[in-house]
Structure 1
Amino acid sequence: MIIQRHDIDLETPTGLMRCSVYRPQADGKFPCVIFYSEIFQQTAPISRSAAIMAGHGFVVLVPEVFHELNPIGTVLGYDDEGKDKGNADKFTKNLEAHDSDTQAMIDYFVQQPYCNGNFGSMGVCLGGHLAYRAALNPVIKAAFCLYATDIHSNTLPCKEGNDSFSRTKDIQGELVCIWGKQDPHVPTTGRQKVYQQLIDTERNFTWLEFNAQHAFMRDEGDRYDPALALECYKLAVNLFLRTLSL
């Protein structure tokens, strides 16, 4: 489908948040997918990923995940300076603020004439964690989580007992969890911990591990795996078509 893009600045409890909207040009009501970026915010690879998903008939929302900590429109570089700033932001913003960001997007976009009222979440790296986290919201019917960091280690700030690992039991929608076996950020023991938690809490989930490194979806850099990325896009599209279409 041919798509269009526009930006909207939403009020949240922690400040103004820019959200980029990628959606079909065609008339109609489409499912919404909140696409959470990595720590660098909306880089060119993230924009291209959002466009790919939107072209399959979704309204894709890309929030600035650290809007409280940076000027609107900030994009960090894929370099040491950007990585250091992004990681500092990651350990500064608490998960409760991410929760209120998610709710602000749902509250706004459910009222838009191009949204069919069904919401899913998707993300990479930090965004994979935030997609998993978003599924704590009962409105989120499905979450596609790519190499989600910090769930197993409980290293993101939050109130005691409100970490994403402990809250797994509250996820009501369907999960797809994608991992790279050669990902140093989520080692085998970490993946096994999350898997066991999903089993113990009897969640509805699909679990896939590939021979891939961290950030294999990012179409810049030497870790990009185009064939595997294409396979993951297909899996995500199928998940959301099945769970979010009226």
Structure 2
Amino acid sequence: MPSETITLKTEDGDFTAYVARPSKDKAPAIVVIQEIFGVNAVMREIADGLADQGYLAICPDLFWRIEPGIDITDKSEAEWKKAFELFNAFDADAGVKDIAAVIDHIRADPGCSGKVGAVGYCLGGLLAFLTATRTDADASVGYYGVGIESRVGEVEKLERPLMLHIAEEDQFVPKEAQAIILQALKNHAQVTAYTYPGCDHAFARHGGEHFDEAAAKLANGRSLTFFQQHLA
């Protein structure tokens, strides 16, 4: 399964993206939206896994405006400090604009069927929600998105399918925030939301402190079924 790093040129500047290609000539694409640790081994592994499932996966460097090429882990205090500095400096609106450029780029790729989905984690979970409300992505999935509760008004713009995975014990998304999100989205025809009892933030991050194998398997299975349904 071949992979490469490409450069996208936009009116705001150039940034890179990791691309993993499936074995077939034409496939739906999925934009993999990073956590606060940049395009690191975990994100590349997710992209590679999607390529193994038959998708053209692309993971853009969304921190490029602050500092290009961030690739850190969740294993040291210094890296966590760096990650939160990046998170606090990040402009989500500019990030969604970059994701829209990525969608346009990968949709025009000769290896793309024309359908493009998005999946995001943590910061990327919020961006997946905004990708669903602000871009022409065909289907989006957000895992434990941080800050969605302050953006739920955007659901009025949602016209394409969105799936959210919410960790019930998420230390970064308190119960009150979860209640706001679920209440705002519960009657929307395009939204499917799942909650995971006993799970903390990043329960699907392989190798992470709060990784929950059973919950990750369940959520990932739901996501793949969702993409098969909407990107075929």
With normalisation by structure 1, the TM-score equals: 0.87
From 33, 36, 42, the counterpart of 2:33: 36
Q: Deviations over 1:98-122 (max 9, x none)?
A: 1220121122112111001111110
Match of 1:243 in 2: 230
Query: Quick one: distance in 2 between partners of 1:219 and 1:139?
Result: 30
Q: Comparing both structures, which one devotes a greater share of its residues to helix?
A: 2
Deviation at 1:12, TM superposition (A): 2.7
Matched, 1:18 2:16: yes
Aligned residues: 230
Match of 2:193 in 1: 207
Q: Kindly report which structure 2 residues correspond to 1:19-168, keeping only aligned pairs within 5 A, or say none.
A: 19-27=17-25, 29-71=26-68, 73-78=69-74, 79-152=76-149, 154=150, 164-168=151-155
Q: How much is the aligned-residue C-alpha RMSD, in angstroms?
A: 1.6
CA contact (8 A) 2:129 2:140 kept: yes
From 169, 172, 175, the counterpart of 1:182: 169
CA contact (8 A) 1:118 1:139 kept: no
Query: Quick one: distance in 2 between partners of 1:204 and 1:54?
Result: 26
Distance 1:217 1:169, change over 3 A: same
Residue ranges of structure 2 left out of the alignment (5+ in a row): none
Residue ranges of structure 1 left out of the alignment (5+ in a row): 155-163
Q: Deviations over 1:87-139 (max 9, x none)?
A: 22222232221122012112211211100111111011111111111112342
The DSSP-based 3-state class of the residue aligned with 2:205 is: coil
With normalisation by structure 2, the TM-score equals: 0.92
Query: Quick one: distance in 2 between partners of 1:204 and 1:75?
Result: 34
Deviation at 1:67, TM superposition (A): 0.9
Q: Kindly report which structure 2 residues correspond to 1:193-232, keeping only aligned pairs within 5 A, or say none.
A: 193-199=180-186, 202-211=188-197, 212-232=199-219
Deviation at 1:143, TM superposition (A): 1.1
The DSSP-based 3-state class of the residue aligned with 1:140 is: coil
Deviation at 1:222, TM superposition (A): 2.8
Query: Quick one: distance in 1 between partners of 2:201 and 2:4?
Result: 30
Q: Deviations over 1:22-43 (max 9, x none)?
A: 121232x111111111100122
Deviation at 1:221, TM superposition (A): 3.0
Query: Quick one: distance in 2 between partners of 1:14 and 1:91?
Result: 20
Matched, 1:191 2:154: no
Query: Mean alpha-carbon deviation: is it higher for 43-52 or for 170-179?
Result: 43-52
Query: Quick one: distance in 2 between partners of 1:138 and 1:103?
Result: 6
Q: Which amino acid aligns with 1:21?
A: V
The DSSP-based 3-state class of the residue aligned with 1:91 is: helix
